[in-house]
Amino acid sequence: PDGITLTGVEKRYGSHPALDVPHLGVPAGSFTVVVGPSGCGKSTGLRIIAGLETADRGRVLLGGVDVTDAPPGERGVALVFQDFALYPHMTVERNIDFNLRLAARHDRRSGLSRAEISTRVAEVCAMLGLTDLRRRLPRQLSGGERQRVGLARAIVRRPAVLLLDEPLSSLDALLRQRARAELVRLHRELGNTVVLVTHDQLEALSMGTNLVVMNGGRVAQTGPPEQVYHRP
């Protein structure tokens, strides 16, 4: 699995400094939770790692490889957004396997076969409780179900690095608790590097093997949860 290193990363919007990170290391195979108040630069950091945003200066390394100038599709990362952006005219199943089919068509040698794709999709649907919803369209799903489809679509590619931006925001309390457990289990199964952004301290403490606490565009603290927060 790939670790992530940011060095000297700075990002401004106009004259407003959104991110200023001299050094940050995300250990390979960790479940890292980035926590901090709204507007502290969490999403900006995630988007820079994914390649959807360009930093004004600094480097991004994935698994020791400098990807600062690499396009998103060549970074081996998957990003799940708050709004999950499903294709409205495609069924749940097509939404999940679309990128795999596309990759298979583009590159017949390294792409997966039809059989491999359908096995993977079945696995991921079972894992996220989507098996009975496979033929539905996004508009026929609840917000929480859509969020699970967005997650399934990212996971099915087995990305070495999985980036999650407030992925549980639209779930009610009970579903959120279940989804947290599902994500932790998934991380154990895949053994990949997960970075999850949240403003919820409980979420950070209950899920992360590694925490990054941000404030005002800077990393205030980093380390295992038991070191970062002092418990009574």
Binding footprint of ligand ADP on the chain (CB under 6 A): 13, 18, 36, 38-44, 50, 52, 72-73, 78-79, 99
Whichever of 40 and 219 has its CB closer to ligand ADP, that residue is: 40
Residue 38 or 232 having the CB closest to ligand ADP: 38
Cα–Cα dist 95/83, whole Å: 14
CB of 24 to ligand ADP, least distance (A): 14
Least distance in Å: CB of 132 to ligand ADP?
Answer: 25
Q: How far apart are the first and last CA of the chain?
A: 35
Nearer to ligand ADP, 36 or 167 (CB): 36
Query: What is the chain's length?
Result: 232
The distance of closest approach from Cβ of residue 63 to ligand ADP in the complex, given in angstroms and rounded to an integer, is: 16
Nearer to ligand ADP, 131 or 218 (CB): 218
209 three-state secondary structure: coil
Half-sphere exposure of 41 (CA within 13 A, CB side): 24
Q: How far is the CB of 174 from ligand ADP (least distance, A)?
A: 25
* CB closest to ligand ADP, residue no: 73
Q: Which of 209, 139, 147, 144 is nearest to 174 (CA)?
A: 144
Q: Phi and psi of 91, rounded to 5°?
A: -65, 170
